[in-house]
């Protein structure tokens, strides 16, 4: 059984640096495309056998040290009562967006065992099929990042509606965030109960704020999620690591570190040693290769891998990853090579 990833999460010594890749189950893999030709994205997320199959594809193809549940951060948003569609070029569309009390009222906190049963089913299949090969990571969007999609009605460039709600109707925002936060807590508890061995909170859009706004409108709710998960786990005598990933975290590290996570995921726009200095050297970090660096010739990728491994040495622990999801256009052979390089060069230490 390969538990290198879990050991690294806990800050324990490992024989080499474990590696997994955000969006490792995805369009850059031919195996994945083959399945997607048969079913649309949402159906894939909701069909446990298929979701489990694509989750395992990168374990076979890449040799990564962890599997991550194939799903989408908007799956629980649909279960809250919003209409969710994925349009081919536009991405997710949530209709109508949440911008007033009335639309908020229509949202409920789902019961994950009932309303998101297909996720729990996928996790159970995965634990059985992985059979200890690598640990399984569950995940959820962090409350703020989920809120942006709900308020904007999809992706956004400048998050005007979101910030406008925060600044002009702080009570409405708080009420929305309370509902989302409860949803995230219940969703992650259920995933852990179903068998997730670590969970990651994706706060992809948290980097759009000034540090003090981040603290007040984003971090508060993430901290609450992690606190709740930790005390619930303590009562159950379990200890599933929580990873907190923030996109564009460069300005926010001093605040981020108080979230209470076991591992902090770092994007590529900052040197990992600088990030560790600002987070504190008692921290376990995950990251942080620029996803587009996977388009470099392999000898150049190798230089970057070595550089990141070197910069990571000042941390209590390191899990290698990209600084954001792998891009669909990425040559798969470079991803395979990346995993090999991380293993080879970290063993030599």
Q: Which one of 10, 36, 278, 304 is the catalytic residue?
A: 36
For this structure, is 72 an active site residue?
yes
Give the tokens for residue 324. 């954001």
Torsion of CA 76, 126, 44, 291, to 10 degrees: 80
Q: Which one of 10, 27, 269, 278 is the catalytic residue?
A: 27
Q: Based on CB atoms, which residue is closest to a copy of itself, 49 or 329?
A: 329
For residue 216, give the DSSP letter.
Answer: I
Minimum distance between the CB of residue 257 and a copy of itself, rounded to whole angstroms?
Answer: 15
Q: Which one of 10, 72, 178, 274 is the catalytic residue?
A: 72
310: left (phi over 0), alpha (psi -120 to 50) or beta: alpha
Minimum distance between the CB of residue 145 and a copy of itself, rounded to whole angstroms?
Answer: 16
Torsion of CA 324, 241, 121, 153, to 10 degrees: -40
Q: Based on CB atoms, which residue is closest to a copy of itself, 213 or 228?
A: 213
Minimum distance between the CB of residue 150 and a copy of itself, rounded to whole angstroms?
Answer: 18
For this structure, is 99 an active site residue?
no
Question: 278-298 burial by CB neighbour count: b if 16+ within 10 A, else e?
Answer: bbeeebbbbbbbebebbeeee
For this structure, is 23 an active site residue?
yes
Q: List contacts with a copy of itself (CB under 8 A).
A: 158-160, 163-164, 167-168, 207-213, 248, 250-252, 268-271, 274, 290-293, 295-297, 300, 307, 327, 329
For this structure, is 149 an active site residue?
yes
d(CA 172, CA 306): 47
Q: Are strands 136-141 and 284-289 parallel, antiparallel or unpaired?
A: unpaired
d(CA 48, CA 117): 9
Q: Based on CB atoms, which residue is closest to a copy of itself, 72 or 307?
A: 307
Minimum distance between the CB of residue 342 and a copy of itself, rounded to whole angstroms?
Answer: 17
Q: Based on CB atoms, which residue is closest to a copy of itself, 36 or 161?
A: 161
Q: Which one of 16, 28, 32, 149 is the catalytic residue?
A: 149
For this structure, is 114 an active site residue?
no
d(CA 42, CA 45): 5
Q: Which one of 23, 99, 127, 311 is the catalytic residue?
A: 23
Minimum distance between the CB of residue 269 and a copy of itself, rounded to whole angstroms?
Answer: 4
Q: Which of 262, 348, 269, 346 is nearest to 312 (CA)?
A: 346
Indicate which residues carry an active-site annotation: 23, 27, 36, 72, 149
């Amino acid at each position: 059984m390969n538990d290198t990833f879990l050991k690294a999460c806990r800050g324990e010594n490992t024989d080499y640096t474990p590696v997994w890749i955000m969006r490792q189950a995805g369009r850059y893999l031919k195996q994945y495309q083959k399945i997607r030709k048969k079913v649309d994205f949402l159906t894939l997320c909701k069909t446990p056998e298929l979701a489990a199959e694509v989750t395992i594809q990168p374990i076979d193809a890449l040799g990564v040290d962890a599997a991550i549940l194939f799903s989408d951060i908007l799956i629980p948003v649909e279960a809250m009562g919003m209409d969710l569609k994925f349009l081919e070029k536009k991405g997710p569309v949530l209709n109508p967006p949440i911008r007033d009390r009335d639309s908020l009222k229509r949202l409920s906190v789902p019961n994950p065992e009932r309303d998101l049963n297909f996720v729990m089913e996928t996790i159970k299949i995965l634990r059985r099929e992985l059979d200890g090969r690598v640990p399984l990571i569950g995940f959820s969007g962090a409350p703020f990042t989920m809120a942006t999609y709900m308020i904007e009605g999809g992706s956004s460039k400048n998050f005007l509606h979101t910030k406008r709600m925060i600044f002009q109707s702080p009570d409405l925002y708080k009420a929305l965030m309370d509902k989302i936060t409860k949803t995230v807590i219940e969703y992650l508890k259920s995933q852990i109960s179903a068998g997730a061995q670590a969970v990651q909170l994706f706060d992809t859009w948290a980097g759009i704020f000034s540090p003090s706004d981040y603290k007040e409108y984003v971090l508060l709710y993430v901290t609450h999620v992690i606190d709740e998960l930790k005390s619930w786990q303590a009562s159950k005598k379990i200890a599933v690591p929580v990873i907190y990933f923030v996109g564009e975290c460069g300005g926010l590290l001093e605040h981020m570190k108080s979230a209470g996570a076991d591992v902090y995921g770092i994007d590529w726009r900052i040197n990992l040693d600088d990030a560790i200095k600002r987070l504190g050297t008692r921290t376990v970090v995950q990251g942080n290769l620029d996803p587009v660096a996977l388009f470099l010739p392999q000898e150049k990728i190798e230089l970057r891998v070595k550089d990141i491994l070197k910069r990571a040495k000042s941390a209590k622990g390191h899990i290698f990853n990209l600084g954001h999801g792998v891009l669909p256009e990425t040559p798969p052979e470079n991803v395979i090579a990346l995993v090999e390089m991380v293993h080879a060069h970290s063993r030599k230490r």
